[in-house]
Structure 1
Amino acid sequence: MPHHHPPRRDRTWPATAVLAGLVAGSVAAAAQLALWWLTSVPLLATLLRDARLTAAIAMGVSVLAPVPAWRGDVWLLATLIHFALSIAYAVPVSLLAGRQRAGVELLAGAGYGALIYGVNLYGFTTLFPWFSASRGGVTLLTHLVFGSVLVGVCRWCARHSGPAA
């Protein structure tokens, strides 16, 4: 009986999740900066605030104080948390993407981004109430971008993985 090989994406979903998480996390961060700029939000102050909000997950509330404004350990930890969450959120998408029409999946990706917004900015705030400071239209749009890019990268990986050898 011939052995059936599953599509490569089934075996490479961890790599797809990492790539998609890193790309979507980067594009979403760039989109957020652009949206802050377009809406006249003070870029550096808001970026440093959000880094403190994120780093406080692991470092505790003492890093929420705005002085000193710049701390390398806070910035590094916030970046690691951001990308770890981006990769974690990419896992289910990496297993499912590429099964529907592109438009349907990209729209579903935006919906997934909205769901992540709810989890991050309302669910996580039960444990980390300081995140409520980041709620708003810009953050929601950023999450929609994240979800759509995530699906797009996962679809690209699925199309380019080809059948297993």
Structure 2
Amino acid sequence: MELHMHSHRWENRSPDWTVAAVSGFAAGAVLMVLELLWSTIIMGASPWETSHMVAAITMGQDALQSTDFDLLIVSIALITHYVLGIAFAIVLSFLIASFHFDSSIGMVLLTGAVFGAVLYLFNFYGMVQFFSWFAEMRGWATVAAHVIFGMVVASMYWKLEQVRR
């Protein structure tokens, strides 16, 4: 077994941008399903409440006036959710590639989990200053969903990057 000393140092290495985007899209879908299941089954809330909250990021607080199904709001929420998922996946993939965190599945999963936890803190304690309606979603379930998001992005990126080599 070869020992790699300092193998996780910064190196100017670009990620596979297409793989990063695909990974973000897929992980965004996983996160969305987890959020819908949690809000509906566990919290007993409307399945469309989260869609209204996400749509309000781009549409403004008027989108929060109702939690009923609205095709425009759900469409805007999907677009917003996927764009953010892809953007965050690109950041994570950049970190994975630049620091060689793709050396093993364990390292890539750990990197994804840490990224997901940091993303949760960024979203629900940083960005909530601008989008206050997300404060009510703080909690262990949202942390877990973000950690899973990070792990899905990282593992998909790792696997798909190997396939494309």
Q: Which amino acid aligns with 1:156?
A: K
- Show the counterpart of 1:62: 62
Contact 1:22 1:87 in 2 (8 A): yes
Q: CA deviation at 1:49?
A: 1.3
- Show the counterpart of 1:84: 83
- Show the counterpart of 1:4: none
| TM-score of the superposed pair, with normalisation by structure 2 | 0.81
Structure-2 separation of matches of 1:147 and 1:107: 9
Greater RCO, 1 or 2 (C-alpha within 8 Å, sep 6+)? 1
Structure-1 separation of matches of 2:21 and 2:111: 20
Q: CA deviation at 1:93?
A: 2.5
Q: CA deviation at 1:17?
A: 1.7
Q: Does 1:116 align with 2:115?
A: no
Q: Which amino acid aligns with 2:54?
A: T
Q: CA deviation at 1:34?
A: 4.1
Helix, strand or coil at the partner of 1:53: helix
Contact 2:31 2:148 in 1 (8 A): yes
Q: CA deviation at 1:112?
A: 0.4
Structure 1 stretch 95-104 or stretch 12-21: which is displaced more?
A: 95-104
Which of 5, 23, 27 does residue 26 from structure 2 map onto? 23
Q: Which amino acid aligns with 1:41?
A: M
Q: CA deviation at 1:35?
A: 4.2
Q: CA deviation at 1:125?
A: 0.7
* Residues 19/32 of structure 1: CA separation in 2 closer, same or farther (3 Å cut): same
Structure 1 stretch 74-83 or stretch 100-109: which is displaced more?
A: 100-109
Q: Which amino acid aligns with 1:109?
A: G
Contact 1:125 1:132 in 2 (8 A): yes
- Show the counterpart of 2:154: 151
- Show the counterpart of 1:6: none
- Show the counterpart of 2:16: 13
Q: Which amino acid aligns with 2:58?
A: A
| TM-score of the superposed pair, with normalisation by structure 1 | 0.81
Identical-pair percentage: 28
Cα-Cα RMSD: 2.0
Structure-2 separation of matches of 1:117 and 1:155: 22
Helix, strand or coil at the partner of 1:55: helix
Q: CA deviation at 1:33?
A: 3.6
- Show the counterpart of 2:7: none
Contact 1:28 1:146 in 2 (8 A): yes
* Residues 61/83 of structure 1: CA separation in 2 closer, same or farther (3 Å cut): same
Q: Which amino acid aligns with 1:60?
A: G
